[in-house]
Amino acid sequence: MKPSILHSILMLLLSVQMQTVFSQNTKEELVTFIDNRLPSKPISTIKAYNFTVSTPYAENNNSLKEFAQKKYEDDLKNHPNVVAESERKYQEDLLKYDEEVIEARENFKLENEAWEKMTLVERMALKDQKPTLKMPRKPMYYKPSEPRYVEPDVTRAITYDPKMLSTLYLKLHGFEKGDVNALVGKIKISNFEYLEPERKSREVSYYDKASQTTKKRVEYYYETSHRRPVEMTLEHNGTEVFSGLLEGSSDYTISESSGGPNLLALEKKSVEESLINANEFINNLYGYSPFEIKREVHYVKNKSGEYDDLEKAKDFAISGYTAFKYTDKNPDLEKALEMWVKALGESDLEDKKARIDEKVTRILLINIVEAAITINDFKTADAQIKAYEKLDNNNSEKTRIGKIKAEYKDKLERFDAAKK
């Protein structure tokens, strides 16, 4: 081997080793704690809550026959609306189908053009993957059948005690149930509505062990569109603060199943989901909701003692997060924040040999922003979010700081609302 070539190889290896030495080995430790979400529209005079629920179901089996007759009459009256909605959905599906046909043809054209450009040898090797025109299945219209009276089957009957539902699912966090200065809510669960389940197919890839190749097969499944509108009225001391449909409850949700759908199970599940959504809506506006937060505290692997300060800051942060109470001061978290900010002052983004190089700078900024948000130091959080955004970020890093920024903005808005 020529000396010049050997010298080049040695220099390359040395360069790689130097980069390894100077690239800081960052680690993280996960900690979980409970924070409290402030209301987005607080009402200072609320001191209690009192919520009631009504459903389209009998309270118990004793009243099933009377209830079944009333349900039949209501369904018969509402049948024209159900038919109209099914026709509207069918027309919507037809438009979507036309778009999918155009897309399928365009994809086939592109794939076929690429196939034609291949050599004969390449085509022989990929003969199982020759492009084919895969047309979507055209929607079929099934007119909803007219309601009929059915003698109630006690074994399959759905019954709900409204008081029990209210107790189980509705609570204004931060308050006790009562009548004085209460937020009074009436939640009406409407009928379960669904469109006829559709059997669909799709092509899926799977690994065939026998041939040790990836193959494709057709998979069949069912889609069921369903919804359950929820009406809600909220009042406080005689003043109506909300009245209308729960957002999203009038939209159809699509449930997928490998076999024919269990409509009874879907119907029961939708009651629980409706009340959970209603409770979240109410607490978002007026409650003080506890919620779990997971933080990754980042630090640098400290072998030689060069990063004693960041290791101590990590220990203070873990202690502070673990003992966190939203109503109390948090000296440990404040100390960690102070140490991180001090270390950040050494940041040198250009020098890969710097103690606080770009990699360490990034983890310090994340630590600082998340800690500052936690203890409501919004000025520091805002400044360091902007500092992070000025870095040369890839898509993953942009997504990361975007999520943290959304958390910051939401908490700041709630914090400001509480001071008004």
User: Same domain, yes or no, for 68 and 183?
Assistant: yes
The domain boundary, picked from 286, 304, 322, lies at 286
What's residue 113's pLDDT?
87
Q: Is residue 59 part of a domain?
A: yes
What is the longest distance spanned by two Cα atoms in the chain? 100
Q: Is residue 350 part of a domain?
A: yes
Q: At residue 223, what is the residue type?
A: E
Instruction: With beta carbons less than 8 A apart as the criterion, state whether 369 and 381 touch.
Output: yes
Per-residue pLDDT tens for 366-415? 999 999 999 999 999 999 999 999 999 999 999 999 999 999 999 999 99
What's residue 8's pLDDT?
46
User: Same domain, yes or no, for 259 and 124?
Assistant: yes
Cα–Cα distance for residue pair 99/115, rounded to 1 Å? 24
User: Same domain, yes or no, for 275 and 316?
Assistant: no
- DSSP secondary structure letters along 58-108: BSSGGGHHHHHHHHHHHHHHHHHHHHHHHHHHHHHHHHHHHHHHHHHHHHH
Q: Is residue 417 part of a domain?
A: no
Binning the chain into helix, strand and coil, the percentages to the nearest 5 are 50, 20, 30
Cα–Cα distance for residue pair 316/26, rounded to 1 Å? 18
Q: At residue 420, what is the residue type?
A: K
Q: Is residue 7 part of a domain?
A: no
Per-residue pLDDT tens for 107-157? 888 888 888 888 888 878 787 788 888 888 898 898 898 988 887 777 778
Q: What is the CATH number of the domain that holds 398?
A: 1.25.40
What's residue 24's pLDDT?
66
User: Same domain, yes or no, for 259 and 350?
Assistant: no
User: Same domain, yes or no, for 66 and 78?
Assistant: yes
What's residue 303's pLDDT?
82
Q: Give, in order, the Cα–Cα distances in Å from 270 to each of 55, 63, 186, 194, 232.
A: 12, 22, 18, 11, 16
Q: Is residue 419 part of a domain?
A: no
Q: Is residue 412 part of a domain?
A: no
Domain count, the chain: 2
Cα–Cα distance for residue pair 354/307, rounded to 1 Å? 12
Q: Is residue 313 part of a domain?
A: yes
Q: At residue 396, what is the residue type?
A: S
User: Same domain, yes or no, for 225 and 346?
Assistant: no
Q: Is residue 98 part of a domain?
A: yes
Residues of the chain with pLDDT under 70: 1-24
What range does the domain containing 61 cover? 48-286
Q: Give, in order, the Cα–Cα distances in Å from 268 to each of 159, 273, 281.
A: 10, 9, 21
User: Same domain, yes or no, for 64 and 131?
Assistant: yes
pTM above 0.85, yes or no: no
User: Same domain, yes or no, for 229 and 113?
Assistant: yes
The domain boundary, picked from 256, 286, 316, lies at 286
User: Same domain, yes or no, for 311 and 296?
Assistant: yes
User: Same domain, yes or no, for 228 and 113?
Assistant: yes
Q: Which residues contact 161 (CB under 8 A, 6 or more apart)?
A: 59, 60
User: Same domain, yes or no, for 274 and 333?
Assistant: no
User: Same domain, yes or no, for 131 and 261?
Assistant: yes
What's residue 309's pLDDT?
94
Q: Give, in order, the Cα–Cα distances in Å from 291 to each of 61, 174, 177, 213.
A: 38, 13, 21, 47
The domain boundary, picked from 286, 315, 344, lies at 286
